Structure 1
Amino acid sequence: MRIALVSLAAAASVAAAVATPAMADEARIEARTGLAWDSHGSKATAGVAAGYDYDLGSKFFVGVEGSADKLLTDDTRVTWGVGGRAGVKVTPTTKLYASSKWQSKTCRYCNSAVGVGGGIQQDLNNRYYVKAEYQHELIGDNTPDADVGLVGVGVKF
């Protein structure tokens, strides 16, 4: 049930982002790395993401994102994710946001997951940024939930 509710929240945030009129919007791509952990231990992860943020006035924004991430072990596959984020511009160069996403399976017999979390994105200049993000992954089917901490560097267009 909780995965269904979070999935609906993710779909709603994506729909809101698509329906929002454009102001000073921006596309972005990033490389990221981090650590994923659950009750069985931790594993390094690396990936890429691309997204588009829509401004909602001078303080708020919503965005959509697609991602490809890989646990850095031999027995896993690339996971594909799609989701959204919504947040506030704390300063003209700092974004604080909540996010949710759906993510494909990490292995053939694993379950897909819905992630909820948040992060902070800090512009380095008009084009480049760094970010830190946390996601709690709700996996379901009696599979233990997982957590992911990511740091990334990206470029805006």
Structure 2
Amino acid sequence: MMRLVLWGSAFAGTMTALALATPAMADETRVEVHTGLDWSQGNTKGTIGIAGGRDFTLAPGTFLGVEGSLDKLLASNAVAVFGLTARGGIAVPTLGKIYALGGYATKPFHGGSPDWNYGFGVQHPLGAKTYAKLEYRHYTESANGITPVRNAMTVGFGATF
């Protein structure tokens, strides 16, 4: 119960900070759907999810952002995973955004433990307010060893506003 209260408070605080950010600072707010593959110990499963976040311009051509996500590994014993991730990188005019990321995700399996993750990605504009992205994440082994090291490669499609 305490974890639920802590995660709820963290989520509410993050969303409040995003809502109060001034337009002059905000580069973009985004929402997306994504799907891909998750692999660990010789097993590969599909994954689906949604995410929303905001990126802030630090200096011309650089940004820092935060996102919340909800993902589901397509396995019989998997549960929905909430994640909170920070990302930062560069904006390349002809390509889009290239970034590194790091974050925290709740336990992906019953009896498992939460995971830290890190990775990288590319977000490419498809139009004025839409994008596609390709992202890789490496999830660390849980402290109790129940949740093993795993990797994920996802493709996402989203909108900015």
Normalised by the length of structure 2, the TM-score is 0.81
Alignment of 1:64-143 (within 5 A): 64-91=66-93, 94-140=96-142, 141-142=144-145, 143=147
- Identity of aligned pairs, percent? 37
Alignment partners' CA distance in 2, 1:86 and 1:68 = 20
Moved over 4 A (4+): none
Question: Helix, strand or coil for the counterpart of 1:105?
Answer: coil
Partner of residue 10, structure 1: none
**Can you give the 5+ residue segments of structure 1 that lack an aligned partner in the other structure?**
1-13
Partner of residue 55, structure 1: 57
Partner of residue 151, structure 1: 155
How many residues are aligned here?
A: 141
Higher RCO, 1 vs 2 (CA within 8 Å, ≥6 residues apart): 1
**Can you give the 5+ residue segments of structure 2 that lack an aligned partner in the other structure?**
1-13
User: Cα distance, 1:111 vs. partner?
Assistant: 1.1
What's the RMSD between the two structures over aligned residues?
2.0
